[in-house]
Amino acid sequence: MTSYQKTGNADELIRQIGELKQERDALILAHNYQRPEVQDIADHTGDSLELSRIAARAREAVIVFCGVQFMAETAAILCPEKTVLLPVREAGCPLADTATAGQVRQMREQYPDAVVVAYVNTSAEVKAESDICCTSANAVEIVRSVNAGRPIIFVSDRNLGHYAAHMARRRVILWDGACPTHAGLSVADIRQAKKDHPKTKVMAHPECRPEVLELMDRVAGTAGMLAYAVEEVPGTAFIVGTDIGLIHRLQKENPDKVFYPATDYLVCPTMKLTTLEDVMRSLENMEHVVKLEESIRVKARSALDAMLAV
Ligand code: CIZ
């Protein structure tokens, strides 16, 4: 096994990652919010579900998931026969941390007829207590698919839950959780961005507050934002209301268009923890392996399968 030579040279580090990737029979996946240099060395970039599905189809034995804990867990739920590595163990998600399995069980006792819809930004334990999962891309469809006679508990993001309920015209019991990055975006920020960049299209993630979403030309998850950018004519400029990591991919895939962050502080700190050095170390030491209890994995898988069936 090649040993990692610390040269301080980025090209050399990238070369060594490539070499070690072959030796380990590994596939590198990077979420759309990762640092640009991590996205650039990845075999695939995407949202958490897209990446987990790629992981499940991959022929490689090892998946290096550059993202946060719940994302690597989702990959481990979908492909138990592979080794899933999360380069930075501490890369968590403050939104996912707002919900525990015990709290979901308590909610179920309070609303025994309810269908629990778990946003993908939840732990494997919470997914295991849920009936069906959803992502930012399909939350509206999933909420709409629930039998109209039954109450819906939407875990974990109250803004996404509110948006899905509004679009699907359903009543939803909202969890008191929010993404600190998206929920921090204000109406004043959007007004300022529009003043700074007039004649732009404005898009934001459904984890933003309802009053912010009202000002948007498009509300979408990262996959939907990438699609929206392609739809518009060359020369279009956009204000982007999600983590600035997505701007790298938007700009790379649409060189004839311009993308401005809605504010400079739309940065998820845990999504930026993973560096190229961490990816190298992860491959070298085969760390940190995502381990799930099989009973939890099987139950969480059934909530993900219910989503895929819709
Ligand atoms: O599901 C994902 O990957 C997240 C957290 C956001 C998005 O819209 O891609």
Ligand 1 centroid distance, CA of 12 (Å): 31
Residue type, 49: L
Q: Determine the pLDDT at residue 153.
A: 98
Q: Quick one: CATH architecture of 10-91+271-292?
A: 3-Layer(aba) Sandwich (3.40)
Report the SS3 class of residue 207.
coil
DSSP 78-145: H-TTSEEE-S-TT---TTGGG--HHHHHHHHHHSTTPEEEEESSS-HHHHHT-SEEE-TTTHHHHHHH
Same fold flag, 96-178 and 181-267:
yes
**Which segments of the chain have a pLDDT < 50?**
1-4
Q: Which atom of ligand 1 is nearest to the CA of 224?
A: 8
Tokens 């959803």 — which residue?
134
Q: Determine the pLDDT at residue 52.
A: 87
Q: Which atom of ligand 1 is nearest to the CA of 121?
A: 5
Instruction: Tell me the pairing of strands 26-31 and 62-66.
Output: parallel
Q: Determine the pLDDT at residue 1.
A: 43
Task: Judge whether 308 and 132 are in contact, CB under 8 Å.
Answer: no
pLDDT per residue as tens digits for the range 29-61: 999 999 999 999 999 999 988 998 899 899 999
Ligand 1 centroid distance, CA of 142 (Å): 16
Domain-wise residue ranges, the chain: 10-91+271-292, 96-178, 181-267
Tokens 């040993």 — which residue?
3
Query: 227-234: long-range contacts at Cβ-Cβ below 8 A with a sequence spacing of 24 or more?
Result: 228/201, 228/203, 229/253, 229/254, 229/257, 229/259, 230/254, 232/201, 232/257
Residue located nearest, by CA, to atom 1 of ligand 1: 48
pTM over 0.85: yes
Ligand 1 centroid distance, CA of 242 (Å): 10
CATH superfamily, domain 181-267, is NadA-like (3.40.50.10800)
Residue 178: name the closest of 129, 218, 119 by CA. Answer: 119
Ligand 1 centroid distance, CA of 218 (Å): 16
Pocket of ligand 1 (CB under 6 A): 31-32, 47-49, 120-121, 135-136, 205, 221-222
Residue 220: name the closest of 210, 228, 231, 211 by CA. Answer: 228
Q: Which atom of ligand 1 is nearest to the CA of 50?
A: 3
For residue 156, what is the enclosing H or E element? none
Domain 96-178 of CATH type 3.40.50.10800: yes
Residue type, 41: I
pLDDT per residue as tens digits for the range 136-172: 999 999 999 999 999 999 999 999 999 999 999 999 9
> Which of 44, 98, 135, 203 should be mutated for ligand 1, with most atoms under 8 A from CB?
135
